[in-house]
């Protein structure tokens, strides 16, 4: 039976990673550093250009093909463990449905309007959804922006594009962060899968490492 989930808090959470093995903790910290770097660059770009996601828009979250690696989901699994919500989330995952939309999106039925319940600890792809940059074969930066944003703010978009073209502003470079995350995830033995399934896998690891840590501290 599915457990009732608590209302999410908007307070930033200081993650307790002490229950992880030293090696795993290093990887979780490395992935969290990637997230912080992206957020910093995204925020900087947003402030300088005005380009931003539309309020209440969950168009990307609605997609059935949002995927992540287990490692990318470890910060979130750790956060839910810390908040005592891990079991409640696990019960939401349908192991047979490999293309289920993200369960962390809270929206009205059949609507893409809503919000992410786990924003602070969302995986890589969610941080690059709205806008990011890519480098073409001539090493020239090109801005990539979601269709909804383009349609809603064409003038802001044009200005931001012109600044990127002129080399004045840099949105997070998607290839750089995808490659860093891919390398780290590969070292962790992880593959990419449906976001809910990746969470379930990460939750298993968190539970196991939590039990090992608890038994090592009581023996």
Residue numbers of the site for ligand SF4 (CB under 6 A)?
Answer: 61, 66, 102, 104-105, 116, 118, 122, 126
- What is the nearest approach in angstroms of ligand SF4 to the Cβ of residue 219? 37
Question: Can you give the C-alpha Rg of the chain in angstroms?
Answer: 18
- Helix-, strand-, coil-residue percentages of the chain, each rounded to 5: 50, 10, 40
- What is the nearest approach in angstroms of ligand SF4 to the Cβ of residue 103? 8
- What is the nearest approach in angstroms of ligand SF4 to the Cβ of residue 142? 23
Q: How far is CA 39 from the centre of its chain?
A: 11
- What is the nearest approach in angstroms of ligand SF4 to the Cβ of residue 115? 8
* Residue 204, SS3 per DSSP: helix
CA nearest to 68, candidates 212, 203, 211, 209: 203
Q: For residue 83, what are the contacts with CB-CB under 8 A and spacing of at least 6?
A: 6, 9, 13
- What is the nearest approach in angstroms of ligand SF4 to the Cβ of residue 68? 8
Q: Which is nearer to ligand SF4, 20 or 129 (CB)?
A: 129
Q: Which is nearer to ligand SF4, 72 or 188 (CB)?
A: 72
Q: Which is nearer to ligand SF4, 107 or 210 (CB)?
A: 107
Q: Which is nearer to ligand SF4, 27 or 121 (CB)?
A: 121
- What is the nearest approach in angstroms of ligand SF4 to the Cβ of residue 123? 6
Q: What is the dihedral of CA 53, 185, 32, 40, to 10 degrees?
A: -40
CA dist., res. 196 & res. 104, Å (int)? 8
Q: Which is nearer to ligand SF4, 159 or 193 (CB)?
A: 193
Q: What is the dihedral of CA 209, 212, 214, 217, to 10 degrees?
A: -130
Q: Which is nearer to ligand SF4, 12 or 167 (CB)?
A: 12
Residues 146-183 as b/e (b if ≥16 CB within 10 A, e otherwise) read: beebeeebeebbeebbebbeeeebebbbbebbbebbee
């Amino acid at each position: 039976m599915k457990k009732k989930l608590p209302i999410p808090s908007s307070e930033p959470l200081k993650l307790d990673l002490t229950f992880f093995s030293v090696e795993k903790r290093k990887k979780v910290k490395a992935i969290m550093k990637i997230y912080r770097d992206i957020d910093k660059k995204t925020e900087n770009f947003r402030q300088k250009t005005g380009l931003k996601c539309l309020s209440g828009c969950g168009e990307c979250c609605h997609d059935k093909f949002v995927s992540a690696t287990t490692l990318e989901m470890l910060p979130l699994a750790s956060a839910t463990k810390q908040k005592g919500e891990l079991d409640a989330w696990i019960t939401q995952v349908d192991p047979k449905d490999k293309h289920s939309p993200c369960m962390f999106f809270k929206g009205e039925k059949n609507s893409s309007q809503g919000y992410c319940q786990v924003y602070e600890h969302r995986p890589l792809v969610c941080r690059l959804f709205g806008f990011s940059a890519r480098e073409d074969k001539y090493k020239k930066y090109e801005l990539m922006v979601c269709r909804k944003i383009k349609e809603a703010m064409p003038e802001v978009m044009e200005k931001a594009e012109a600044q990127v073209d002129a080399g004045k502003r840099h949105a997070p470079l998607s290839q750089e962060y995808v490659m860093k995350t891919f390398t780290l995830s590969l070292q962790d033995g992880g593959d990419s899968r449906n976001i809910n399934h990746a969470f379930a896998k990460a939750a298993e690891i968190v539970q196991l490492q939590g039990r090992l840590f608890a038994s090592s501290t009581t023996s």
